[in-house]
Each structure stands twice: as structure tokens, then as C-alpha cells.
Amino acid sequence: MSFAADPAFEAASAFAADWPLCQVRVQNDARFPWLILIPRVPGAVELEDLSPHQRALLTEEIIHASAVVRDLGALRGAPVDKLNIAALGNVTAQLHVHVVGRRRDDPLWPDPIWGRPGAVPCTPSALRTAIAHVAAL
């Protein structure tokens, strides 16, 4: 069995890079700097489906993604106040981790963003900039 990202990710995010463990995608929502990490482990649904080494690597990639999300917020002129990190998987079962930059003045603060309507697509230029920033790291 080989790795393939669930097609559901194509609808709302764009491929940015392959890190040692994860495919990294930029969520196409201008309201938040937002990355999705998808471990390239066929059939992985839960953290327990990863080896101990893969879990450790995922943790390091989440920390790296957190710094990248902060960078993306700064590039937008909107520094991140808080990071939201979650592996929900209720809609798309394939194991993936969201790393989202939040601001106290964002449209959903202080509520969670999960499952909320109102995504605002990024401009093509902003999406290209975010992808290029992730790909360069």
C-alpha cells in the first residue's frame, strides 16, 4: 500500500512540501495562517498507527510547522497570538494534524475553528507566497 493524501484535502488546501515524515499543505483560508501535516504512512488513522520513531518525528514537525505558521502570520502583518494544534479526523479519517495561527481579533476568537463555515479563500498571490515560504524551509 502506498501513500496518497485523501482527495478531500485537495478541495480546501494546496500541497506545499514533503518534510521527512509529512506531506505539508497550506489551508486555503485567508482568515488564518494554517498548515496541515499528513504523515506519509499508508493506512494511518490514529497516532497509535505510527511507530515510536514516527511519533517523535511528527512532534518535531509540528514544532517546526508552528514556527512556520508564526512566520506566515508575520508575513501577513498579523502576528499569531495563539497556536491551535489538533488531529481531529472526524470528517477525514486519514491521520493529519492542523497547525493554525489564531489572533485575539480573528473572526472566530475565542471559539474553536473546527467545523465552522465561512472560509475565505486566499488570493492566488497570497497562496503562492505561503506555499513558497513553506517549500523554502
Provide the CATH topology of domain 9-135: HIT family, subunit A (3.30.428)
In single-letter form, the type of residue at position 131 comes to I
Identify the segments of the chain with pLDDT beneath 70. 1
pTM over 0.85: yes
pLDDT given for residue 125 in this prediction:
96
Look at residue 89 in the predicted model and tell me its pLDDT. 87
First-to-last alpha carbon distance for the chain, in angstroms, is 29
Q: What DSSP designation does 21 have?
A: S
Output the pLDDT for position 99.
98
Report residue 55 CA to chain centroid gap.
Answer: 17
Residue 1: predicted pLDDT:
65
Q: Give residue 129's pLDDT.
A: 96
What per-residue confidence (pLDDT) applies to 91? 86
Pull the grid cell for residue 8: 478531500
42 grid coordinates: 499508508
Strand, coil or helix: 135:
helix
